[in-house]
Amino acid sequence: MATQAKHFNYLLIGGGMAADQAAAGIRSIDQNGTIAILSADVDEPYARPALSKKLWVDETFQESDTDFKTAEKQNVEIHLQTTVTKIDPAAHQVETAAGTTYAYDKLLLATGVKANTLPNLPNSDLIVALRSKADYRKIRAFSGQQKQVLVVGNGYIGSEIAAGLIQSDTQVSYVIDTPHLFDKKFPANLSQQLEEKYQQAGVKFYPSKRATAVKIPDHRVILTLDDGTELAGDGLVLGLGSHSDYRLAQTASLKLDKNGVIVNKNLQTSDPDIYAAGDLISYPDPILGQTKSEHVMHATKSGFAAGQNMAGQTTAYNYTPYFYSWVFDVSWEAIGTIRTDLTMYQEKLGVKGNLTYYFDQNDTLQGILKWNAKVNLNHLRNLLSQHPQLTELKKVLPLTQVD
């Protein structure tokens, strides 16, 4: 006799920040409906950005401080180490890898992204593609006490963990595949300024290099680069970006495009009872058009809005997210498209601050980078939404072209 599926009014697939906020969004409308989170993680929802930032540079901030306490605060049933493998929209059921079936009235897809890695890696806790709190614990185990850690990847995670480790009594060798740090996003003067912060802290750079092989003899990591250089360390951290896995959405025959799972302004997928939020969605941004975003503010804001919509309130998701990072004494935020193949102009603000404006081939504003500057992001959103021409901005702003 088949076991009857456990039923929930709201079933949230994914145990990250989007799911936490979706539960909060539901509870802001419906205090009594049953909610369950099915998460492949070993930990309940937590503040993911702290894994590469605050936990490494603030001694008063502990791992337990990252916990959201979602189950307690939102009256949610959380099932950890639970991987959903199939969605049956007609039956309003999902199936897990363990063969367990759950039934739902409304379903949320918020599975986030998976960290990219290198091919043919040895299976070892000394190699970490940082994504989860469990990954953070592994890095803690092989860092500190002047141990040598190798970091690969010229992106948010790689740059932040390299900065965090060097400030946590750890020696750092940092491999990037470009001549300079963030040189495909930042103009040369800012890329150089940022790179100097790392060098002054003691980070050793290996620019324009790629990792080709990894070995682990005698509990040490040996990393081979494409020029034959071999680097030895007590551990290896990979910050090579991430990717979404759409196979679960495909089991439900949800519509996808090049950006991900297509949702409307209410974060509803092509199935009216299935919603989606966070990194895996393709959504209609009011400023940027149909797009995707893989950042924490998008995850939390879209998660909350999706939860409210699932609970019956019509909430349009109209938040244009921004990207941010802070390392050493540099804090930057960006909105829109920032790429160095666009035309760039800077506006100086104070002694250390500036705004960089990015224009396309038609001289239309595409993105803005805020660097050590106290400027309201809503002001920048409003400016970007107007899609001004370079000639217009030159009339009102002291702009200097940069490379």
SS3 (DSSP) at 155 = coil
DSSP state, 203? P
**What is the C-alpha separation between 209 and 214, in angstroms, rounded?**
14
Each residue's pLDDT tens digit, 244-275: 999 999 999 999 999 999 999 999 999 999 99
What is the reported pLDDT for 3? 63
Q: Any idea what the Cα angle at residue 261 is, between residues 258 and 262, rounded to 5°?
A: 90
What is the reported pLDDT for 2? 46
Instruction: List Cβ neighbours of 363 (8 Å cut-off, separation of 6 or more).
Output: 343, 389, 390, 391
Q: Are 328 and 201 spatial neighbours (Cβ–Cβ below 8 Å)?
A: yes
Can you tell me the mean pLDDT for 193-216? 97
Written as six digits, the tokens of 168 are 């946590």
What is the reported pLDDT for 1? 35
**What is the C-alpha separation between 191 and 159, in angstroms, rounded?**
12
What is the reported pLDDT for 192? 96
Can you tell me the mean pLDDT for 115-132? 96
Instruction: List Cβ neighbours of 128 (8 Å cut-off, separation of 6 or more).
Output: 135, 138, 139, 235, 236, 237, 238
Would the pLDDT of 156 be above 70? yes
**What is the C-alpha separation between 31 and 33, in angstroms, rounded?**
6
**What is the C-alpha separation between 259 and 265, in angstroms, rounded?**
15
Domains observed in the chain: 6-113+244-310 (3.50.50.60), 116-238 (3.50.50.60), 329-402 (3.30.390.30)
Each residue's pLDDT tens digit, 62-74: 999 999 999 999 9
Can you tell me the mean pLDDT for 115-129? 96
Would the pLDDT of 4 be above 90? no
Q: Are 49 and 33 spatial neighbours (Cβ–Cβ below 8 Å)?
A: no
Would the pLDDT of 193 be above 60? yes
Per-residue HEC secondary structure of 335-397 comes to EECCCCCCEEEEEEECCCEEEEEEECCCCEEEEEEEECCCCCHHHHHHHHHCCCEHHHHHHHC
**What is the C-alpha separation between 318 and 287, in angstroms, rounded?**
9
Measured in whole angstroms, the distance separating CA 103 from the mean position of its chain's CA atoms is: 30
Each residue's pLDDT tens digit, 22-80: 999 999 999 999 999 999 999 999 999 999 999 999 999 999 999 999 999 999 999 99
Percentage of the residues of the chain whose pLDDT score is greater than 90: 97
Instruction: List Cβ neighbours of 351 (8 Å cut-off, separation of 6 or more).
Output: none
Each residue's pLDDT tens digit, 376-394: 999 999 999 999 999 999 9
Q: How many residues in the chain?
A: 403
Q: Are 224 and 213 spatial neighbours (Cβ–Cβ below 8 Å)?
A: yes
Which pTM does this prediction carry? 0.95
Instruction: List Cβ neighbours of 219 (8 Å cut-off, separation of 6 or more).
Output: 126
